Amino acid sequence: MTIGILALQGAFAEHEQMLERLGADYFEIRQKKDLERDFDAFILPGGESTVMGKLLHELDMFSEIKEKINAGLPVYGTCAGLILLAKEVEDGAVQLGTMDICAKRNAYGRQLGSFVAEEEFKGIGKIPMNFIRAPYIAKAGENVEVLAKVDGKIVAARQGNQLVTAFHPEVTDDVRIHQYFLEQIVNK
């Protein structure tokens, strides 16, 4: 199993460490030709969704990535990655728009928006959740399965091949979300 990790900006190295711990092969997607490789899934990391969206256009990768997702390639988006996938965005521009969710950007404030929670994730149990200037999901379509909530707000969800979390499991020691992605979505 080989996982591509979008490595233009943001927290991609932390995802690499998670995959390393789980024994999955990975490579960095940095330019258009990297998309020609054979891979089974990919990760859109946290960072700044506006910058990542702009770079995807500048590097001419935007349409190909969108097509791959629409064709069913599994994708996991964390934080800014969630925003990139959302079909609707509050306080920001729609980017790939492949997932039927409305993301509220910087939903917890820009400066003091970082905190840690521990909540139930459907099918896994209680997990630590690190929020860093995070969005939440203000609305989810009927094909979207809600996987976790914090204070009544949706913070993790899945729609077919697409998994998103508003928080960053890759900055914790807990590999269970990545394991869930590999086992429940990629290896199906």
Q: Which of 7, 154, 156, 160 is nearest to 69 (CA)?
A: 160
The reply on whether position 77 binds ligand GLN by CB under 6 A is: no
The reply on whether position 165 binds ligand GLN by CB under 6 A is: no
Residue closer to ligand GLN by CB (options 11, 61) is 11
Binding residue for ligand GLN, selected from 4, 46, 77, 169, defined by CB under 6 A:
46
Binding residue for ligand GLN, selected from 68, 104, 133, 178, defined by CB under 6 A:
133
H helix runs in 34-140, sequence order: 49-58, 62-70, 80-85
Residues near 60 by beta carbon (within 8 Å), at least 6 away in sequence: 32
Q: How many CB atoms lie within 10 A of CB 134?
A: 29
The reply on whether position 68 binds ligand GLN by CB under 6 A is: no
Q: How many Å is the Cα radius of gyration of the chain?
A: 15
Residue closer to ligand GLN by CB (options 167, 181) is 167
First to last CA, the chain: 12
Q: Which of the stretches 55-63, 77-85, 140-148, 174-182 binds ligand GLN when contact is defined by CB under 6 A? A: 77-85
The answer to whether 86 and 162 are in contact (CB under 8 A) is no
Q: Is 57 a catalytic residue?
A: no
The reply on whether position 79 binds ligand GLN by CB under 6 A is: yes
Residues annotated as binding site for L-glutamine? 47-49, 105, 132-133
Instruction: Tell me which residues touch ligand GLN (CB under 6 A).
Output: 46-49, 79-80, 83, 105-106, 132-133
